[in-house]
Amino acid sequence: MFRTSAFPDYGLQPLTANNPQNRYDYDVVVIGAGHAGTEAAAAAARLGAKTALLTTNLDTVGQMSCNPAIGGVAKGQIVREVDALGGLMGESIDATGIQFRMLNRRKGPAMHSPRAQADKKAYQNFIKYRIETQPNLDLRQETVEDLITEPIADGQDRLANQRVIGVRVRGDAVYHAPTVILTTGTFLQAIMHTGKSQSAGGRAGEGTTAGLSGALHRMGFTLDRFKTGTPPRLNARTIDYSGLEEQPGDDDPQPFSYLNDAISLPQMACHIAHTNERVHDLIRANLDRAPMYSGQIDSRGPRYCPSIEDKVVRFADKSSHQLFLEPEGRQTCEVYVNGISTSLPRDVQDAMFRCIPGLENAAIMRYG
């Protein structure tokens, strides 16, 4: 974790509005094209604002970084609220889902939570096309390197005496707008950990950006690190499903969007596996190599998504934890192993699966 006082000085100087070269004028500029950015940009454009959506890679617009699923407890209700406001997520998952389930059916209606497993690439392509065809919205591949500010009052508080009026992108072009929305997710100064190995990146296989972090620091914002994690992904061809519990979708799948009356897509099954004491002993024996416990990571993870290391330590009385094997799409063999988020070294991740019934010969395609 880092605080403002420890944040590096990038040597960036405040930009002003007096740079006419390569200038583009908008009402709203949104930075980042994940779930939040695409919804924000589309909403602004629907309201009539001339909007630009800037992302470092057009091929990842709407990409699901972690679990390829929409909804769940509490989150499913939010998706329906977004849909009621004209958003994209509900329609997108209804069109591209591979399994739909209403969680907590045995409890009262207030606890019912819709969840759908997505075809990861199909969902991404659906969102991208909707963004590309949205009136008043320009989608641009740009790397934002700095914020353009102007003074608004005298005073000592840096946050109080300036406002953002645009951004500078790589190549010295500028986008001016009275409203700038940051939806950068994990891409600001992000570091990925697998054991002692560290690499910069907001998502596996992609880089990160430093300019915006420096700009926010320069303006007086306090910057901290937050921790999240991802599980390994397995090749479905190498999984022995014969001894695993099948988890089918609902017989009467409920759509997310109020514009749809029913789901007609064929559904795919998920499966349930379990950890055991052999796995837990292996994890305990290697906690000194786990970044969360070795001191390499100094921040707390989200409560709703604890790592398998945290589960073993915090719930030491449990001899087993459920793992949900969730396909990532109709045209891929990649399987997301929900419930085993980890930053343990590669050799430990390999050894863990050797101990799990049904996964003894599973081939890891992406390490956690």
Q: Is residue 340 part of a domain?
A: yes
Whether 205 and 242 share a structural domain:
no
Q: Is residue 77 part of a domain?
A: no
Average per-residue pLDDT for the chain: 86
CB 330 within 8 A of CB 268: yes
Q: How many domains does the chain have?
A: 2
Q: Is residue 84 part of a domain?
A: no
Q: Is residue 209 part of a domain?
A: yes
Whether 171 and 274 share a structural domain:
no
CB 225 within 8 A of CB 1: yes
Whether 325 and 352 share a structural domain:
yes
Of 219, 243, 262, the residue that ends a domain is: 219
> 303-341 in b/e burial notation, b at 16+ Cβ within 10 A?
eebbbbbbbbbeeeeeeebebbbbbbbeebbbbbbbbbb
- Containing structural domain, residue 195: 4-68+119-219
Whether 174 and 245 share a structural domain:
no
Whether 255 and 164 share a structural domain:
no
Whether 162 and 293 share a structural domain:
no
Residue 129 is predicted with a pLDDT of: 97
Return d(Cα 104, Cα 301) in angstroms, integer.
25
Say which CATH number the domain at 199 has: 3.50.50.60
CB 110 within 8 A of CB 276: no
Residue 70 is predicted with a pLDDT of: 94
Of 219, 241, 263, the residue that ends a domain is: 219
Instruction: Look at residues 165, 91, 164 and name the one whose alpha carbon lies nearest to residue 134.
Output: 91
Instruction: Look at residues 96, 95, 89, 75 and name the one whose alpha carbon lies nearest to residue 42.
Output: 89
Say which CATH number the domain at 355 has: 2.40.30.260
Question: Please, which residues have CB within 8 angstroms of residue 311's CB and are 6 or more apart in sequence?
Answer: 318, 321
Q: Is residue 245 part of a domain?
A: yes
Whether 247 and 141 share a structural domain:
no
Whether 273 and 362 share a structural domain:
yes
Strands (E), the chain: 23-25, 28-31, 51-55, 69-71, 97-103, 113-118, 137-141, 144-151, 162-169, 173-176, 179-182, 191-194, 197-200, 233-235, 245-247, 270-274, 322-327, 334-338, 364-366
Whether 356 and 261 share a structural domain:
yes
Of 162, 186, 219, the residue that ends a domain is: 219
Q: Is residue 304 part of a domain?
A: yes
As beta bridge partners, residue 118 has 97
Residue 277 is predicted with a pLDDT of: 97
Whether 130 and 205 share a structural domain:
yes
Q: Is residue 89 part of a domain?
A: no
Query: Which of the residues in the chain have pLDDT under 70?
Result: 1-21, 154-160, 187, 189, 192-193, 195-208, 210, 293-304
Whether 181 and 32 share a structural domain:
yes
Q: Is residue 62 part of a domain?
A: yes
Whether 245 and 286 share a structural domain:
yes
As beta bridge partners, residue 139 has 53
Residue 156 is predicted with a pLDDT of: 59
